[in-house]
Amino acid sequence: MRKFPPEPLLREIARMAAAETHRRLVEREGMRAPETPFTFAGLARTVLAETRSGVWPDGSATQARRIRARVRRSGVSSAQVRVLCDEMIRMWTPAVLAAGEKDVSVLMASIAFEQFGAQWSSFENLSRAYSLFVDARAKHPTLPAPADWAAELGVDLDGFMRTGFALHVAMLQNEGQVSREVLKGDNVRPIWATMSPDDLFAVIDRHFVKDFADHGRICRAAQRDGWEKWSFNSLSAAPLINFGDDLVGPAPHLVLDKVSSTGLWYVGQNAWGSTFTTALGGAFEDYVGRNLQLLQHATAIPEITYKTGAGDGQSCDWIVITNEVVLLVEVKCARPLYGIRLGDPEALKDLKSKVERAVGQLETTAALVRAGHPSFSAVPTDRPLLGLVVTLEPYYLRETFRDEMLNSDVLPVSIAWSHELENACAQLSSEADIGAQLLESLTPTKNPLVATGSLGNIAYKGLGKRNPIVDSSWNAWATWPGIT
């Protein structure tokens, strides 16, 4: 990649990434290799991390100038970028893995976190952000107030999310790059409502864009030898690159991620620490409960407080009673650390601890139900028990061969993240045999203590029902002209 001048290469990557994203979102076609969102993002990260000013690592300054001049004269073609995409997607074995220093689950984690995030619908992620950070505050007043968000972001939360959404649209409609002058145009002014151009660009410059040199410094500082492809991408922090008057976006999906529940979690955690994450944990528990209460042929019971010899104890967060099965649900707002995708031992230890705590809570509740504890008298004991850990962000345990962390001698346990729960609850909302479908989807092997299935299996049956909670949040947020 070093033989190409970086700016023309990044602009062509951005142009092709915008066209591919438009094809998927507007024309509703599937993702196709090697031109995928994560491949374009990986190419851009490599350009930012590996290109130095004046001298390239493998050649002299004179050689670099000659190669740049030759490529500049011929331009950077889509065919050349396509070859780079193919090379990027074929890179898969870090040296440390080949040497046997890591097991295959580490490689699978790198692939899963690199690839799967670009495949989820952003509609739910944006709607969920409104539910958790706006709607939920009435019940959870320790969540940041509107003034707190405004002080941290430089604009109110709605303006911040609008800015990110509008920048994403601008990338798709302008071949992955747009000038600041275009963003000042009268045709786009309604999106930003009361924000002046100065206010708008203050927010963009603070949160969404960095120049080429700054991006490069961030990428190089976070880069792990042998794991370059999966090292932190500065475009996750600031998804646009500033070239003169132009904003260039080689990875459009990362623009939306910035204003989704994922991106806002990092803003809140960095600004308010544990106060924010604790409050969000309570809000997310309620959000999961609201989705479970969509199930018309089931009863969802919130956390039960019971007496112990040492005082009060709490059950898992939700208990869902159906005719065929009782589903015990434990909710976790904490997310997996970035080091998991790089095989960092401390990150893996943290992951194991988080999952084991959730499984332990499910096991404790199952034991109390089976023992007929008086506080759990409303929970029937004549049907199987299933455990489900629901996380705000995906953990990809099954996809990375780490689902042994869910193994239990007490009950079968599965894991799902919020996106899977939202879709599954929508599909099951009016189904009379909800318990049977849960058993079929989560325990397809019929092993009484192993949940080898996925809640996503339910959503893939093609029932096509919409989630009213997601729709309601979207409609409450997306109120400006021209958005549907």
Element of type H or E holding 194: none
Residues in the chain: 484
Secondary structure letter of residue 135 according to DSSP: G
Asked whether the beta carbons of 169 and 161 are under 8 A apart, the reply is: no
Strands 246-248 and 177-179: antiparallel
- Residue 115 CB partners (closer than 8 Å, separation 6+): 36, 38
Count CA atoms within 13 Å of residue 221 on its CB side: 7
pLDDT of residue 294: 98
Asked whether the beta carbons of 204 and 159 are under 8 A apart, the reply is: no
Integer-rounded Cα radius of gyration of the chain: 24
pLDDT of residue 451: 77
What DSSP string describes 311-336?
EEEE--SEEEE-SS-EEEEEEE----
One pLDDT digit (tens) per residue for the chain, 484 residues: 888 889 999 999 999 999 999 888 877 777 788 999 999 999 999 999 988 654 444 445 555 456 556 555 557 899 999 999 999 988 766 666 666 767 788 888 888 888 888 888 888 999 999 999 999 999 999 999 999 999 999 999 988 998 999 899 899 989 999 999 888 877 777 777 678 888 889 999 999 999 999 999 999 999 988 888 889 999 999 999 999 999 999 999 999 999 999 899 999 999 999 999 999 999 999 999 999 999 999 999 999 999 887 889 999 999 999 999 999 999 999 889 999 988 899 999 999 999 999 999 999 999 999 999 999 999 999 999 999 999 999 999 988 889 889 999 999 999 999 999 999 999 999 999 999 999 988 887 766 677 778 888 886 666 678 999 999 999 998 886 655 5
Q: How far apart are CA 25 and CA 484, in angstroms?
A: 13
CA end-to-end span of the chain:
39
Task: Please state the φ and ψ torsions of residue 443, each to the nearest 5 degrees.
Answer: -130, 60
Question: What is the third-level CATH fold of 295-466?
Answer: Restriction Endonuclease (3.40.91)
CATH 3.40.91-classified regions of the chain: 295-466
Q: What is the pTM of this model?
A: 0.90
Secondary structure letter of residue 437 according to DSSP: H
| Core vs surface per residue 248-283: b (16+ CB within 10 A) or e | bbbbbbbbbbbbbbbbbbebbeeebeeebeebbbbb
